[in-house]
Amino acid sequence: METSSATSIGEFAGRHIGTGADAQSAMLAAIGYDSVPALLAVAVPDSIQLTDAESILPPAATEREALAELRGIAARNRVHRAMIGLGYYDTITPAVIKRNVLENPSWYTAYTPYQPEISQGRLEALINFQTMVAELTGLDTANSSMLDESTAVVEGMLLARRASGSASNIFLVDEDALPQTKALLENRAEAVGIQLHYTAYDMSPPPDDIDVFGAFIQYPGASGRVWDPSEVIGAVKAQGGLAIVAADLLALTLLTSPGELGADVAVGTTQRFGVPMGFGGPHAGYLAVRSGLERQLPGRLVGVSKDADGHPAFRLTLQAREQHIRREKATSNICTAQVLLAVMAGMYAVYHGPEGLKSIAERVMFNTRFLASAATDGGHTIVHGNYFDTLTLETDRSADDLVARAYEAGFLFHRVDDNRVQFSVDETTSRDELMVLAKILGADAETLEGTVPGHSELSAWIPKGLLRSSSYLTHPVFNTHRSETSMMRYLKYLADKDYALDRGMIPLGSCTMKLNAATEMEAVTWPEFAGLHPFAPEADVEGYLELIGQLESWLADVTGYDSVSLQPNAGSQGELAGLLAIRGYHRSRGDDARTVCLIPSSAHGTNAASAVLAGMNVVVVACDELGNVDVDDLRAKVDEHAQELAALMVTYPSTHGVYEHEIRAITKAVHDAGGQVYIDGANLNALLGYARFGEFGGDVSHLNLHKTFCIPHGGGGPGVGPVAAKAHLAPFLPGHPMAQRPNRIPEGMPVDLDGGISEHSHRNVVSAAPYGSPSILPITWAYIRMMGSEGLRDATGAAVLAANYLAVRLREHYPVLYAGENGLVAHECILDLRPLTEATGVTVDDVAKRLIDFGFHAPTMSFPVPGTLMIEPTESEDLAELDRFVEAMIAIRAEADAVGAGEWPADDNPLHNAPHTARSLLVGEWEHAYSREKAAYPVTSLLRNKYWSPVRRVDQAWGDRNLFCACPPPEAFA
Amino acid sequence: MADKTTFKFTAEHEWLDIDGNTATIGITDFAADKLGDVVFVELPKVGSSIQSGKVVGEIESTKSVGELFAPVDGTVVAANGEVTGRPELVNEDPFGAGWMIRIEVADATVFDSAELMDFDAYVALVGE
């Protein structure tokens, strides 16, 4: 087989893969192999290599063909005006934000801001988001986004349990919570032994003997009800529980904030701040806490610190809370969340400002009021007298009839039951639509037209004590960028600070920062994909269901599994879904005692955190000096826990970037003892087309569509973490109470293990929306469609070739840790910097920060081994960029040697002082032991193309010790 | 300040400055160095009883989390409020101002029966 090359125009694989035939020949010569297949034949163990490469994937389409097909699929979706509400509202994405953020690779191809110096733009954008959430909710600290509202509620519940100090295991839940939130709470609470008690909070005064560790209130309620929960909150807190309020941020521009009502925690979604519904996602959820609970926050938190020159600089703060440090002691498995969407929502607030947001909210409320009059006029009863944007009607005619009449006129209402209907107004609702809606409701629109209320009446409608009087979004950033010119330039100013794939390689090991092709991104913003409500009727979403069905079957095919669920919104949620499936399987067989999850010491910390959240006990398996699972220790642990063994979680290829030869023996040992094998798909990019998880012992895996399958990292989200399983686990994959289609149970599987198919469709829900984040699925669909099975296989070959090329080129300068028995690595390689540090004092940090001066994003630092760099070039980088990286690393090695030889002082050299800003080179006298040219232009290629770090090295400790997580005053930057 | 060469040490890199029935406890310079910049210290409440081998506190750095283990059974009689306010003291002066807790034991002989090392044995352990 010939390796791929950029040959004829139209062949996408040749565009996606950075190295053509000539480059690959040169690279192969450097490492001593004749061809890519010859290399892979040696690198991939015989025991797992595909014997039968047959695939159901259609032959590769060109970019033009794929888009035409996607157009056809999109045409089968029907965009009605969705007024279903329930946490999803139509919204207007300001075009300046759509074009300059959502469709701009400077934002969507960036990675999570682990390297703060080269991420100041999106860190500032996230600080805006955090400030917006904290101020609107009236709480002190907000994190930088959650996966969605319902998972944020779950995280709020878990936070309450650990922070309350109450011995109770009971959590009080609002009967008027969103249905998807209830489903998620039920699934997640059960796994960790929490009991849920539902209440309508209708006893006044609230009883003073409620023994709960926390209580959840939806504000306004799912039915639209606006009420004052402060008494309930007071009663819960009085007996030691925490109060968690899910609040609609738009409503909070008019209503008293949760913080002012006494809440400890506020959660919700920021979707209606300019992020399209997208049939369910992605959107940024949020979580904010009162002072004193900051360290309990799940997810990521941006804080302010200072750089080496004392200038303010942003960074991720309190990272030691996170699961990659605390492993099974972690309190949440949430890693990165929804950065791109959080940036959009934050920018929506920047663009509209406090007055703009308030006027949108007022308009929504006036229009709702108008429809309430129309409904009353039409003979319906308004169930709740106080509301913001949502009305629940009681009708003496049939609810179905009203919903059907709305549908015929182009509107989607939500049928609550036989005689109740609800609908929600949003910022897009127009005057013409109001007239049509009034008619549907049976009112005489003409008579009503004169009755549209005026602003002065607002205070009369909002219950006493709930009219917001406190200010919000007073920082200049929310009060400056009103013109599109100003907004465009602010977005450009921020984007220019950051290093994303549009500047150069991001060789982060285990992150797979490959090309996110423009054609793949095209369909994301098409209205037929962006404009659909997640609970739209099946007839409206046929195109989506077809795309989802195809994608599920393709992913099952390439991984050797039988069934796939696209619901998990991140790898961590895929892990959780997979482990919950294993748990459900064991319990369905009466094996309730199987709760032990074996996890190798080299595993990513998220594995352990997910296992705990799935109700399992983690037992750590040792690794040998090569980083492989210690098979003897594994057998010992399997024997020791044979009766309680639930699962082994193993990453393949290993987190050390090596194809373990013993993998079949490992999976067999676990199966023999009655356990299930979870293979973490983080490193699938080294395997696609050469081996399938399901064929060498995997029972279930999660994949990362944001790694292997081209969904961009978005600067730290969105992600999609589908879970794929063998047939026996398929009935336990995530379902959803509002799914348009029940889960497909493979043929021959019993569908009523304990309750019939409808029961299954509710099982193990892990995301708010039935299909997770569908609007970004066309990206992966297009990638697979345009690559075909051969293209995918070629991509794997090119990725493994690139990693081995870097290993060989750099080996004499830095030792390469861990190679397989044949001396080869998989798709990434680990450079050991510990000997260098020992000899010269130069640290991993110094090298990583110096790479910035050379125009590179650092590789993964100190994972999985402290004191090392893990490099994953992916297939998308071309040979020139790989060689530029090699050149930089060799030059850095020489600089380190000069430090070691005493040519430069240990505390004054280009490495120690990296990165260098233009300001640090130009302002004041230059009094360093090396020249300014050496600092900024260590290699000549930089003369033509230089990236300047906007800040110098950020002081990590100062930021953690002096926690500040909101927009700093402008004077700070003087 | 007491002389660290007179301290006792645990394999968990904690030091004990024993005075009759009480002991002041902190972590060693070796441990502080391994953790890196300490940014947060959580200590048990004064008056709480502690059990040998159990985690009683947390020492968090920018990149890692260390735990404070109780070396013997006893009662906490003092917790260093200075160090919770200024965690960098753990790095700056681990054997002095960076102390963590003071405990009281019912019977001073528990210090003899616990597996504690003297200074030389500890230095040998960490290979300095």
What is the extent of the structural domain holding B55?
Answer: 4-122
The 10s digit of each residue's pLDDT in A692-729 is 999 999 999 999 999 999 999 999 999 999 999 999 99
The answer to the question of residue B128 being in a domain is: no
- Residue A712: which of A652, A804, A653, A782 has the closest Cα? A782
A317, A955 contact by CB (below 8 A)? no
In the prediction, which pLDDT does A656 show?
87
pLDDT digits (tens, 9 = 90+) for A213-235: 999 999 999 999 999 999 999 99
Closest residue of chain B to A961, computed from CA coordinates? B39
Above 80 in pLDDT, residue A457? no
Domain ranges of chain A: 527-748+762-782
pLDDT tens-digit map of A594-636 = 999 999 998 988 999 999 999 999 999 999 887 789 999 999 9
Residue with tokens 């009305």: A391
pLDDT in tens, A644-673: 999 999 999 998 888 999 999 999 999 999
pLDDT in tens, B22-47: 999 999 999 999 999 999 999 999 99
- What is the arrangement of strands in the sheet containing A195-199, beginning at the earlier edge strand? A141-142, A285-289, A265-269, A242-247, A214-219, A170-174, A195-199
What is the per-residue pLDDT for A732? Answer: 95
Neighboring chain A residues of B37 at a CB cutoff of 8 Å? 956-957, 960
> A745 pLDDT band (50/70/90 cuts)?
low
Residues 6+ apart with CB under 8 A from A95: none
The domain that holds B21 is classified in CATH as 2.40.50.100
Omega prior to A970 cis, within 30 of 0: no
- Asked if the model's pLDDT at residue A757 lies above 80, the reply is no
**Residue B28 falls inside a structural domain:** yes
Distance from CA of A325 to the nearest CA of B (A): 6
Contacts of A956 in chain B (CB under 8 A): 37, 62-63
Closest to A751 (Cα-Cα) out of A737, A735, A738, A767: A735
Q: Return mean pLDDT, chain A.
A: 93
Optimal mutation site among A956, A962, A963, A964, interface B, most CBs of chain B within 10 A = A956
Over residues A463-472, the mean pLDDT reads 93
Quote the number of domains for chain B: 1
Across residues A394-409, what is the average pLDDT?
95
Rounded distance between C-alpha atoms, residue A30 and residue A886, angstroms:
13
**Any A CB within 8 A of B67 CB:** no
Residues with pLDDT less than 50, chain B: none
Model confidence at A53, pLDDT cuts 50, 70, 90, reads confident
Q: Does B88 touch chain A (CB under 8 A)?
A: yes
Q: Is B39 on the interface with A (CB under 8 A)?
A: yes
Q: What's residue A454's pLDDT?
A: 60
Predicted pLDDT at A325? 79
- What's the rounded mean pLDDT across residues A922-940? 96
Q: Which of A329, A837, A961, A963 to mutate to test the interface with B (most CBs of B within 10 A)?
A: A961
Mean pLDDT of A387-407: 96
pLDDT digits (tens, 9 = 90+) for A525-535: 999 999 999 99
Please indicate if any CB of chain A lies within 8 Å of the CB of B92.
no
Interface residue ranges in chain A relative to chain B, Cβ cutoff 8 Å: 295, 319-320, 325-326, 862, 956-957, 960-961
A826-854: per-residue pLDDT in tens?
999 999 999 999 999 999 999 999 999 99
User: Residue A273: what pLDDT?
Assistant: 98
Please give the DSSP secondary-structure letter assigned to residue A99: I
Closest chain B C-alpha to A961 CA, distance in angstroms: 5
Asked if the Cβ–Cβ distance from A320 to B87 is below 8 Å, we say: no
C-alpha span between A306 and A315 (Å, rounded): 9
- Interface contact B64, partner A, CB < 8 A: yes
Query: How do residues A867-877 score in pLDDT, each as one tens digit?
Result: 999 999 999 99
pLDDT in tens, A65-110: 999 999 999 999 999 999 999 999 999 999 999 999 999 999 999 9
ipTM: 0.86
What would the mean pLDDT of A268-295 be, rounded to a whole number? 97
Q: What is the pLDDT of residue A747?
A: 57
Q: Which residues of B touch A319 (CB under 8 A)?
A: 62-63
Pairing of β A242-247 and β A195-199: unpaired
**What confidence score (pLDDT) does residue A186 get?**
96
Cis peptide before A653 (omega within 30 of 0): yes
User: Other CB atoms closer than 10 Å to residue A447's CB: what's the count?
Assistant: 12
Of B62, B87, B88, the CB nearest to A956: B62
Are A869 and A850 spatial neighbours (Cβ–Cβ below 8 Å)?
no
In degrees rounded to 5, what are phi and psi of residue A540? -85, -15
Query: Could you tell me if B62 lies within 8 Å of chain A, comparing CB atoms?
Result: yes
Q: Do A957 and B39 touch (CB under 8 A)?
A: yes
pLDDT of res. A6 = 43
Residue A825 and residue A810 in contact, taking contact as beta carbons nearer than 8 Å: no
Instruction: Calculate what percentage of chain A has a pLDDT beyond 90.
Output: 87
- A326-335: average pLDDT: 84
Tens of pLDDT, residue by residue over A776-786, are 999 999 999 99
Element (H or E) spanning A197, and its range? strand A195-199
pLDDT at A586 over 50: yes
Q: Does B33 touch chain A (CB under 8 A)?
A: no
Residue B81 is assigned to a structural domain of this protein: yes
Q: With an 8 Å Cβ cutoff, are A325 and B64 in contact?
A: yes
For residue B36, is it within any domain? yes
Taking one residue from A and the other from B, the number of pairs with CB-CB distance under 8 angstroms is 34
Domain A527-748+762-782 in CATH 3.40.640.10? The answer is: yes
What is residue A709's DSSP assignment? T
Give the model's pLDDT for residue A456: 62
Q: What's the mean pLDDT in A477-494? A: 98
d(CA A236, CA A589): 39
Q: What is the mean pLDDT of residues A898-903?
A: 97
For residue A805, the SS3 value is: helix
Mean pLDDT of A149-159: 97
pLDDT for position A3: 43
B99 domain-assigned:
yes
Q: Do A319 and B60 touch (CB under 8 A)?
A: no
C-beta atoms of B37 and A956 within 8 A: yes
User: Is the model's pLDDT at A7 over the cut of 50?
Assistant: no
Q: How far is A817 from chain B (nearest CA, A)?
A: 22
Classify residue B53 as left (phi > 0), alpha (psi -120 to 50) or beta: left
Q: What beta strand segments (E) does A380-523 contain?
A: 381-382, 390-394, 411-412, 414-417, 420-424
Contact A957 B64 (CB under 8 A): no
pLDDT confidence band for A453 (50 / 70 / 90)? low
Closest CA–CA distance from residue A867 to any residue of chain B (Å): 12
- Asked if A319 and B63 come within 8 Å (Cβ–Cβ), the reply is yes
